[in-house]
Amino acid sequence: MSYKKEFIEFMVRAGVLTFGDFTTKSGRKTPYFVNTGNYKTGAQADKLGYFYASCIIENMEKGMISENIASLFGPAYKGIPISVATAIAMSREFDRDINYCFNRKEEKDHGEGGKMVGYKLQDGDSVLMVEDVITAGTAVRETLPQLMAAAKIKVEGLIISVDRMERGQGQKTAIQEIEEEFGIKTYPLVTVREIIDTLYNKEVDGKILIDDSVKERMEEYLEQYCVQQQ
């Protein structure tokens, strides 16, 4: 079992990936929903870190991500536990001790002060961002100025749970827009297409989640709101 298939089933069992009738923040009616806020146990955090670390290692071995990452960075708030869990998994599962840091939403004006917590970024550092999902790229656009203000760093890439393949502010996906705007490549653990291919007419704990009807609705949603990628 590849980590991708295992990760999709993990999201289902954690109640993070669900199917039904939902409305996104943008007002779109969607037949599926990814809510990473539903992770809530230590075992789930442990496993989530392993999946993110697996994605990082896979792309390092392909030469897509540099081996010399100085630190992981998790944008507040959902990126914070992801960065910590991933750093732990990198050390324990892959024998790679890596720093992590994250930002505060509001700058602290006492104690050590500042907006950054954890590893202190240095000029020349290569940083890998870890986030849950990208809808419009808002978190990236908000936190990049903080990263660049902390030190003269290079953002090596962005790791996310699911690529929804949805259009961003124009006719391209938010992921494509971020790459064009900032030169940052995004590496999803899985895409919505891989979710369909993995779960269509296949049981998870005795239940079929994507039958013909659900698949048809998901395909219609992809056709209407998403950018079809080859």
The residues carrying an active-site annotation are: 108, 110
Helices (H), 42-137: 42-61, 79-94
CA gap 119, 160 in Å, rounded: 21
Residue whose C-alpha is closest to residue 25's, from 108, 132, 136, 123: 136
Residue 176 three-state SS: helix
**What residue has token string 């709101």?**
225
**C-beta pairs of 212-216 under 8 Å, 24+ apart in sequence:** 214/19, 214/31, 214/32
Question: What is the enclosing helix (H) or strand (E) of 108?
Answer: strand 99-108
Task: Indicate the angle between helix axes 192-199 and 3-13, nearest 10 degrees.
Answer: 80
Tokens standing for residue 28: 């779109």
